[in-house]
């Protein structure tokens, strides 16, 4: 979408060499601050925007930073772990990726991270609670703190990533705190754009790859829970597009194109990986919750009791707002499943053709 014809590029280079700038190089931000873009679109261009992406070191954040940097945007990448921030350096041209250490509890550090930015993304979120941070301190107070510092610092736009199922009445604390976080963000930054993606799939996802390794946890509810999986690249592109769209609805839902049951997704994983379907039993919820509670005593992330609750909650049926972010329908899961699942094939099956399971008949809205 950012490709230009050779003639346009040639013209832009001539203008650039002559030291002149075109009228369309000037962008006026909502705060009336003008910024000037420069150079042919791409890695070495200067879009004029400076962006801070909180939560950049996560699954979605890394793709967003890459997309922004490729557009010639200067990106501030706040990090907690030095090693997590290393991979960002080659994503942008020299000086375009600025790494800064931060702590979500430290307002001064947050202010320092967004001091020069005209747009701030908040992707910070956690699937499980830790001894230092519960859901509320990350999704509610943390989100509110970032939004309020951004508002005080005169940031033009604030984009807050929530979840498709965010609801104050949800049985899941994760979804509840996501909804509370949205409200707090809107209270302190009224023009904020709330983005609600469905469950993401991609290389580092916790969906397809987890199903390939731990099918037992996806058999809960007899595999009948309904999901609207969406490709991480599509959501990252939608977030990147937001930067150049001046007017947007205050809440954007970004679900995947199809509603699918866990049962069908497990079939998909076993067909694509050419592994036999799992013979693991269907655990009753109480047993799964007990096991998840016990699993919290290990020091690496294990399935949390709240995730067990979420495995019984269907994704909500709302229309996707893809057109508002300049995109057509997102990709179907079959189009990309092999890319992320081929590594689970045995050596002799590695290049065998894929046979997908038959799609279940469409779920009628009355089923919800």
Ligand X SMILES: NC(=O)c1ccc[n+]([C@@H]2O[C@H](COP(=O)([O-])OP(=O)(O)OC[C@H]3O[C@@H](n4cnc5c(N)ncnc54)[C@H](OP(=O)(O)O)[C@@H]3O)[C@@H](O)[C@H]2O)c1
For ligand X, the closer of residues 37 and 172 by Cβ is 172
Q: Which of 141, 193, 199, 241 binds ligand X (CB under 6 A)?
A: 199
Number of residues that bind ligand X (CB under 6 A): 22
For ligand X, the closer of residues 181 and 305 by Cβ is 181
- Note whether 145 and 110 are within 8 A (CB): yes
Among residues 86, 305, 116, 343, the alpha carbon closest in space to that of 209 is found at 343
The answer to whether residue 138 forms part of the interface with ligand X (CB under 6 A) is yes
Among residues 203, 167, 181, the alpha carbon closest in space to that of 125 is found at 181
Mention every residue, 6+ apart, whose C-beta is less than 8 A from residue 300: none
Q: Which of 119, 161, 188, 313 binds ligand X (CB under 6 A)?
A: 161
Q: Which of 75, 149, 200, 227 binds ligand X (CB under 6 A)?
A: 200
Q: Which of 39, 61, 256, 320 binds ligand X (CB under 6 A)?
A: 61
The answer to whether residue 197 forms part of the interface with ligand X (CB under 6 A) is yes
Task: Quote the CA–CA distance of 321 and 197 in Å, as a whole number.
Answer: 10
Q: Which of 12, 50, 52, 57 binds ligand X (CB under 6 A)?
A: 57
The answer to whether residue 163 forms part of the interface with ligand X (CB under 6 A) is yes
The answer to whether residue 53 forms part of the interface with ligand X (CB under 6 A) is no
Q: Which of 39, 41, 48, 55 binds ligand X (CB under 6 A)?
A: 55
- The token pair at 1 is 């979408």
For ligand X, the closer of residues 56 and 266 by Cβ is 56
Give the range of 50-58, 113-121, 182-190, 358-366 binding ligand X by CB under 6 A. Answer: 50-58
* Residue 56 CA neighbour count, 13 Å, CB half: 36
Residue nearest to ligand X (CB): 58
- Note whether 303 and 166 are within 8 A (CB): no
Give Cα separations from 46 to 5, 17, 49, 54, 158 (angstroms): 18, 15, 8, 21, 21
For ligand X, the closer of residues 39 and 61 by Cβ is 61
Give Cα separations from 334 to 190, 202, 339 (angstroms): 38, 12, 10
For ligand X, the closer of residues 156 and 199 by Cβ is 199
- The token pair at 366 is 């009355």
Q: How far is the CB of 2 from ligand X (least distance, A)?
A: 23
The answer to whether residue 149 forms part of the interface with ligand X (CB under 6 A) is no
- Note whether 194 and 160 are within 8 A (CB): yes
Task: Quote the CA–CA distance of 311 and 218 in Å, as a whole number.
Answer: 7
Mention every residue, 6+ apart, whose C-beta is less than 8 A from residue 331: 231, 233, 234, 257
The answer to whether residue 128 forms part of the interface with ligand X (CB under 6 A) is no
Task: Quote the CA–CA distance of 262 and 79 in Å, as a whole number.
Answer: 34
The answer to whether residue 185 forms part of the interface with ligand X (CB under 6 A) is no
Give the range of 8-16, 31-39, 55-63, 220-228 binding ligand X by CB under 6 A. Answer: 55-63
Residue 71-110 contact track with ligand X, rule CB under 6 A, x = bound: ---------xx--x-------------------x------
Q: How far is the CB of 72 from ligand X (least distance, A)?
A: 23
Alpha helix positions (H), 106-198:
107-114, 135, 143-152, 173-188
Binding site for ligand X (CB under 6 A): 55-61, 80-81, 84, 104, 123-126, 133, 138, 161, 163, 197, 199-200
């Amino acid at each position: 979408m950012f490709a230009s014809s050779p003639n346009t590029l040639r013209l832009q280079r001539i203008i650039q060499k002559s030291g002149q700038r075109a009228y369309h190089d000037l962008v006026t931000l909502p705060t009336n601050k003008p910024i000037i873009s420069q150079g042919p679109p791409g890695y070495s261009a200067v879009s004029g925007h400076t962006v801070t992406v909180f939560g950049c070191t996560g699954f979605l954040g890394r793709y967003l930073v890459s997309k922004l940097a490729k557009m010639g945007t200067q990106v501030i990448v706040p990090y907690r772990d030095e090693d997590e921030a290393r991979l960002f350096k080659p994503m942008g041209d020299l000086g375009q990726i600025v790494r800064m250490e931060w702590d979500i509890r430290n307002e001064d550090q947050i202010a320092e991270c967004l001091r020069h930015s005209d747009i701030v993304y908040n992707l910070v979120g956690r699937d499980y609670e830790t001894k230092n941070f519960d859901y509320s301190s990350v999704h509610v107070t943390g989100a509110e703190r970032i939004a309020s510092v951004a508002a005080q610092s005169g940031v033009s736009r604030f984009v807050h990533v929530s979840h498709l199922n965010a609801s104050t009445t949800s049985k899941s604390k994760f979804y509840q705190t996501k909804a509370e976080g949205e409200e707090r963000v809107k209270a302190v930054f009224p023009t904020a754009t709330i983005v609600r993606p469905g469950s993401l799939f991609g290389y580092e996802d916790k969906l397809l790859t987890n199903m390939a390794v731990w099918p037992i946890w996806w058999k809960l509810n007899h595999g009948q829970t309904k999901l609207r999986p969406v490709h991480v690249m599509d959501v990252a592109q939608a977030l990147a597009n937001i930067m150049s769209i001046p007017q947007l609805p205050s809440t954007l839902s970004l679900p995947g194109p199809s509603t699918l049951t866990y049962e069908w997704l497990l079939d998909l994983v076993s067909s694509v990986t050419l592994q036999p379907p799992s013979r693991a039993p269907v655990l009753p919820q109480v047993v799964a919750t007990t096991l998840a509670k016990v699993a919290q005593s290990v020091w690496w992330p294990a399935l949390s009791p709240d995730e067990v609750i979420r495995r019984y909650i269907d994704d909500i049926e709302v229309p996707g707002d893809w057109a508002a972010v300049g995109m057509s329908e997102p990709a179907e899961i079959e189009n990309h499943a092999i890319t992320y699942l081929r590594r689970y094939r045995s050596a002799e099956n590695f290049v065998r053709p894929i046979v997908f399971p038959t799609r279940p008949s469409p779920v009628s809205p009355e089923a919800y």
